[in-house]
Amino acid sequence: MATTVDISSSLEDYLEAIAEIIEQKGHAHTKDIADRLKVKMPSVTNALQALSARGLINYQSHTPVELTTVGAETAAVIRHRHKVLKEFFSQVLELDAECSDSTACRIEHVIGETVLSRIVALAEAIAGREDCAALREYLETTMPKICPEPGEELLSLDQPARHQKVRRPGAGSRHTSSDGRARTVRRPAPGQGDGQQSLHARRGCDAYLGQALLNGSFFLRISFSFI
Split at pLDDT 50, 70, 90, the class of 24 is: very high
The whole-number pLDDT of residue 68 equals 96
Residues in Cβ contact with 199 at an 8 Å cutoff, skipping those fewer than 6 apart: 185, 186, 208, 209, 214, 224
| For residues 44-70, average pLDDT | 94
Residue 215's pLDDT is 41
Residue 110: the pLDDT is 85
pLDDT on residue 26? 92
Rounded to whole angstroms, how far apart are CA atoms 172 and 184? 6
- Average pLDDT across the chain, whole number: 74
CA distance 157 to 21: 34
pLDDT at 148: 62
pLDDT on residue 226: 39
Spatial contact of 56 and 72, defined as CB atoms under 8 Å apart: no
> What is the per-residue pLDDT across 160-212, written as a single tens digit (0 to 9) for each?
544 444 444 444 444 444 444 544 444 444 444 444 333 333 333 333 333 33
**Residue 18: predicted pLDDT:** 97
Report the pLDDT value the prediction gives residue 151, as an integer from 0 to 100: 58
Decide: 59 and 47 in contact? Cβ < 8 Å.
no
pLDDT digits (tens, 9 = 90+) for 122-169: 988 998 899 999 999 999 888 888 876 565 555 554 555 444 444 444
pLDDT at 45 > cutoff 80: yes
CA distances from 112 to 79, 90, 118 (A): 14, 20, 10
What are the helix (H) ranges across the chain? 9-25, 30-37, 41-53, 69-87, 97-107, 113-128, 133-142, 211-214
Q: Within a 10 A sphere around the Cβ of 122, how many other Cβ atoms? A: 12
pLDDT recorded at residue 6: 82
- Cβ neighbours of residue 204 closer than 8 Å, sequence gap 6 or more: 181
For residue 225, pLDDT over 60 is answered with: no
What pLDDT digit, counting tens, does each position of 63-78 carry?
999 999 999 999 999 8
